[in-house]
Amino acid sequence: MVKFPLSTELLVFDLEAYVPEADRKRKTGASLAVNPFRQGHTLLGGVFHLSRPRTGEVLTSPAFEHHWVWDEGDEAEVVASIYALFSGMRRRSSVKKSHQAESVVAGVGISMFDMPCILAKCLAHEVAPADEIYETVCKFRVVDLAVAGIGFLPANKPVLYPRTHNALADTFIPERVKKPTGKVVWEMAEEKDYAGIAARCEGEVKEMVLLAERMLAATQEIE
């Protein structure tokens, strides 16, 4: 059985990216227009909340840590900052025993976009040797709340399918105010509404932290 020492870490985060107007309606599917390897598809940054759930200790400072291109200079600097967060988690977990849990990264849709985007951008900017990047980014336990939430929500589809942030929040955080689709960030970036993007992203991550807590509480009730 996996043991969770007091040092077990959980990173909840969300990224924002910019897609050039010409690529917003490509026939590859509007559900994931961002392609980190395409010219002009820029990782704007994101918000990160790193904690040790067993002790209640928050490791990011401030609690919801921001990294953005308009604050740090360019995409390469932001990618380096994000990689440093992951590298720190990997370094601290390297002393764990084999039966102890790996560090966890969580968020809504992170297995589809955020984690692949980080890997792609780290490789593109050569923040470290490729094999080291893989060991650092891809060896955590990934909990995609969009997938974890399938069993909590009624489904009328013929296949198991990830749930949206709004659907999960409607169930677990009924008191919250709905936000528009993430595509609004593209327009906000063009209008240089950087404070608005940062605030929106922080709100998303705060909801994800609460979602994770309430989903975990719900599983304990079932047991």
- By the 10 Å C-beta count (0-12 exposed, 13-18 middle, 19+ buried), 102 is classed as middle
What integer pLDDT is reported at residue 100 of this predicted model? 81
Percent of the chain with pLDDT over 90: 72
Contact 124, 43 (CB under 8 A): no
Residue among 118, 142, 139 at smallest CA distance from 11: 142
Of 147, 171, 143, 176, the C-alpha closest to 159 is: 147
Please state the pTM of the whole predicted model.
0.91
> What is the tens place of the pLDDT at every residue in 182-218?
668 999 999 999 999 999 999 999 999 999 999 999 8
Q: Is CATH 3.40.50.1980 what the domain over 10-222 is classified as, yes or no?
A: no
Q: Measured in whole angstroms, how far is the alpha carbon of residue 20 from the centre of its chain?
A: 22
The DSSP secondary-structure symbol of 3 reads B
Give domain limits for the chain.
10-222
Nearest to 113 by CA among 12, 210, 16, 215: 16
Taking residues 61-76, what's their average pLDDT? 97
Higher pLDDT, 154 or 35: 35
